[in-house]
Amino acid sequence: MKKIFLLLTIISATLIAQKKTHYEYVNPFIGTDNMGHTFPGAVVPFGLVQLSPETDTVLYSYGKVYNPDVYKYCAGYQYSDKTIVGFSHTHFNGTGHSDLGDILLMPTVGKIQLNPGTKENPDSGYRSRFNHQNEKAKPGYYSVHLDDYNIDVELTTTERVGFHKYIFPKTKEAHIILDLTSGIYNYDGKIVWSFIRVENKNLITGYHQTNGWARTRYIYFAIEFSQPIESYQLRNDEQVVYNGFWRKFNQNENFPERAGHKIKCAFNFNTEIKNEILVKVALSGVSTKNAIENLNTEIPHWDFEKIVQQAKEKWNKELSKILIETSEERKINFYTSMYHAFINPNIFSDVNGEYRGLDQNIYKPIKFINYTTFSLWDTYRALHPLYTLIQQKRTSDIINSMIVHYEQSVHKILPVWSHWANENWCMIGYHAVPVIADAIMKNINGFDYQKAFQACVASANYDLYDGIGYYKKYGFVPEDLNSNSASKTLEYAFDDWTIYAIAKKLGKEKEANEFYNRSLNYKNIFDKETGFMRARNSNGKFKIPFDPLSVANQGFIEGNAWNYSLYVPHDINGFIKLIGGKEKLVSWLDSLFTFELPEKYFGESEDVTKVGMIGNYVHGNEPSHHVAYMYNFTGASWKTQEKIHQIVNEMYKPKPDGLCGNDDCGQMSAWYIFSLLGFYPVTPASNQYVIGSPCINSAVINFENGKQLKIIVENYSEENIYITDVFVNGKKLNRSYFTHDEIINGGTIKFIMQKTPNKNWCTDKNSFPYSLTK
- Choosing from 5, 302, 425, 601, the residue that interacts with a copy of itself (CB under 8 A) is 425
Question: Which of 154-162, 252-260, 336-344, 606-614 is the region at the interface with a copy of itself (rule: CB under 8 A)?
Answer: 252-260
- Give the nearer residue to a copy of itself in terms of CB position, either 209 or 226: 209
Q: Is 287 in the site for a copy of itself (CB under 8 A)?
A: yes
Q: Is 706 in the site for a copy of itself (CB under 8 A)?
A: no
Q: How far apart are CA 297 and CA 403, in angstroms?
A: 28
Q: How far is the CB of 666 from a copy of itself (least distance, A)?
A: 21
Type of residue found at 405: H
Enumerate helices (H) and strands (E) in the chain, giving the number of each: 21, 37
- Give the nearer residue to a copy of itself in terms of CB position, either 193 or 302: 193
Q: Per-residue string for binding with a copy of itself, 210-249, x by CB under 8 A? A: -xxx-xx----------------------xxxx-xx-xxx
Type of residue found at 34: N
CB 234 within 8 A of CB 296: no
- Give the nearer residue to a copy of itself in terms of CB position, either 222 or 490: 222
Rounded to 5°, angle at Cα 351 from 346 and 357: 60
- Choosing from 55, 288, 624, 683, the residue that interacts with a copy of itself (CB under 8 A) is 288
Q: What DSSP character marks residue 623? A: G
- Give the nearer residue to a copy of itself in terms of CB position, either 97 or 340: 97
- Give the nearer residue to a copy of itself in terms of CB position, either 205 or 686: 205
Q: How far is the CB of 246 from a copy of itself (least distance, A)?
A: 10
DSSP H or E stretch at residue 439: helix 432-441
Interface residues for a copy of itself in 429-488 (CB under 8 A)? Answer: 464-466
Which sign, positive or negative, has the C-alpha torsion 265, 270, 275, 276? negative
| Helix/strand/coil for 699 | strand
Q: How far is the CB of 201 from a copy of itself (least distance, A)?
A: 13
DSSP state letters, 42-64: EE-TT-S-EEEEES---B--TTS
Q: How far is the CB of 186 from a copy of itself (least distance, A)?
A: 10
- Give the nearer residue to a copy of itself in terms of CB position, either 291 or 576: 291
CB 97 within 8 A of CB 213: yes
Count of residues near a copy of itself by CB under 8 A: 51
Which sign, positive or negative, has the C-alpha torsion 163, 169, 175, 179? negative
Interface residues for a copy of itself in 35-94 (CB under 8 A)? Answer: 60, 62-63
CB 707 within 8 A of CB 745: yes
DSSP H or E stretch at residue 418: strand 417-418
- Give the nearer residue to a copy of itself in terms of CB position, either 193 or 449: 193
Rounded to 5°, angle at Cα 692 from 689 and 696: 110
Q: What DSSP character marks residue 540? A: S
- Give the nearer residue to a copy of itself in terms of CB position, either 62 or 300: 62
DSSP H or E stretch at residue 356: strand 355-356
Interface residues for a copy of itself in 185-204 (CB under 8 A)? Answer: 187, 189-190, 192-193, 195, 197-199
Interface residues for a copy of itself in 741-770 (CB under 8 A)? Answer: none
Q: How far apart are CA 538 and CA 475, in angstroms?
A: 10
What is the β-pairing status of strands 698-702 and 322-325? antiparallel
- Give the nearer residue to a copy of itself in terms of CB position, either 425 or 588: 425
- Choosing from 361, 450, 539, 766, the residue that interacts with a copy of itself (CB under 8 A) is 361
Rounded to 5°, angle at Cα 683 from 566 and 567: 15
Q: How far apart are CA 328 and CA 283, in angstroms?
A: 37
Please, where are the H alpha helices in 320-431? 328-341, 376-379, 383-390, 392-408
CB 661 within 8 A of CB 620: yes
Question: Which of 420-428, 517-525, 594-602, 753-761 is the region at the interface with a copy of itself (rule: CB under 8 A)?
Answer: 420-428
Q: How far apart are CA 515 and CA 583, in angstroms?
A: 30
Q: Is 410 in the site for a copy of itself (CB under 8 A)?
A: yes
- Give the nearer residue to a copy of itself in terms of CB position, either 4 or 259: 259
What is the β-pairing status of strands 708-714 and 747-754? parallel
CA-wise closest residue to 311 among 701, 105, 50, 135: 50
- Choosing from 303, 359, 596, 719, the residue that interacts with a copy of itself (CB under 8 A) is 359
- Give the nearer residue to a copy of itself in terms of CB position, either 99 or 571: 99
- Give the nearer residue to a copy of itself in terms of CB position, either 323 or 421: 421
Question: Which of 10-18, 317-325, 423-431, 749-757 is the region at the interface with a copy of itself (rule: CB under 8 A)?
Answer: 423-431
Q: How far is the CB of 39 from a copy of itself (least distance, A)?
A: 21
**Chain residues in the site for a copy of itself (CB under 8 A):** 60, 62-63, 187, 189-190, 192-193, 195, 197-199, 205, 207, 209, 211-213, 215-216, 239-242, 244-245, 247-249, 254-257, 259-260, 287-289, 359-362, 410-411, 417, 424-426, 464-466
